[in-house]
Structure 1
């Protein structure tokens, strides 16, 4: 995949899957724009960065973006795992604001440059838990279900301007956000065994799939929710 001449925005591109994607796009000649709460030293040289919190004031986003935006990835999320009877209204609202409202507001700010690109691609990130019943996931599953609903509606609404909208739904991936779930050899082994392919995800497993959906190679794919989950979402092997 070559992204020469393509402007791509990655929201949440400072760590984990987002950072892996930024590095891949940069290596493949994209002009990459990153929005994140902090700017880590790991960002490649030449990346255009805006420090912003997606749950706060996003007024600077419109002026930050180029006139044409060929791709937008909202790689922001949360892992809020609690028994249902311990979840508060704020838990649900905070997960919704971060995952759904943040994505919606970013896309609204980027609407004009996306339209100007005449064939742009938007990729949102859900979770295997939105489509597979997993205990202790009620709040994040509800929020990620909202992400999927947003994406499907936008895919229909933006099809006329040739803007594609798709979703990737990963399972547990070895990122800083998941460090508490993979903090010991025993936890890592148990997490791997839960997946039919006997391993948990790596950031590049997800980021390369996102890159495909951003590329011209996927120009006839829109409105899809693609599980990248080691088989967890669809297969029962034991």
Structure 2
């Protein structure tokens, strides 16, 4: 069934891969700061900065069946080097701007028979990792929020979270900038490779589809086994 799906962000990385998978079968709306390669796809682009702008809902359809919030950060530093302002910035981008964007379209989502909402977290919420205090705090807020929202809005909304490990996207460029770095990161994962945008988008596509109609309030660790396996 053709759905109306809104992505906040979606012009690069995981978001763009998801748009690429969805646009032929659904009406896809992408609200992001830049269009990048979106002009090559059959989507509706809306210029929008989630941190500073109000979402122009007059450019959206009367009903939304899916909502995906893609913006995020990877701010990895020792706690002693992180200012309080750095924490505020990560919380603002990852969580508070999500809430603002969702508030703007809550009424449109309620018109769907059962809207699917997808947010992104990180493996570092479940598995404590050094230098992740800021991003883990911001993403942890998302996980708690998602479960509470799923309970409050069931059965009208399904709300799920995808928690990847390191994924080969522009956001992770500094961590995967050369072959040596990438090989080191590959070895950290039980499946011996970092994730790809396709790995994560495949899960998101499933959660937006009717195939996942009995799935809500879950956090999916799409992480190469990082959060649950210790293979030595």
Q: Residue 23 of structure 2 contacts residue 41 of structure 2 at CA under 8 Å; is this kept in 1? A: no
Which among 47, 70, 74 is matched to residue 79 of structure 1? Answer: 74
Matched residue, 1:135: 130
Between the aligned partners of 2:38 and 2:58, the Cα distance in structure 1 is: 25
What's the CA shift for 1:57?
Answer: 2.0
Q: Residue 11 of structure 2 contacts residue 37 of structure 2 at CA under 8 Å; is this kept in 1? A: no
Q: Residue 23 of structure 1 contacts residue 44 of structure 1 at CA under 8 Å; is this kept in 2? A: no
Q: How many residues align?
A: 232
Between the aligned partners of 1:16 and 1:43, the Cα distance in structure 2 is: 16
Q: CA RMSD in A?
A: 1.0
Q: What are the Cα deviations for residues 152-173 of structure 1, in whole angstroms up to 9, with x where unaligned?
A: 111011104x210000000000
User: TM-score scaled to structure 1, two decimals?
Assistant: 0.95
Matched residue, 2:211: 217
Structure 1 residue runs of 4 or more that deviate by more than 6 Å after TM superposition: none
Which residues of structure 2 form unaligned runs of 5+? none
Secondary structure at the aligned position of 1:41 is classed as: helix
Secondary structure at the aligned position of 1:170 is classed as: coil
Which among 46, 49, 56 is matched to residue 52 of structure 2? Answer: 56
Which residues of structure 1 form unaligned runs of 5+? none
What's the CA shift for 1:97?
Answer: 0.6
User: TM-score scaled to structure 2, two decimals?
Assistant: 0.97
1:146 aligns with 2:117: no
Between the aligned partners of 1:230 and 1:193, the Cα distance in structure 2 is: 11
Matched residue, 1:108: 103
Indicate how the Cα distance of structure 1 residues 92 and 140 shifts in structure 2: closer, same or farther if over 3 A, else same.
same
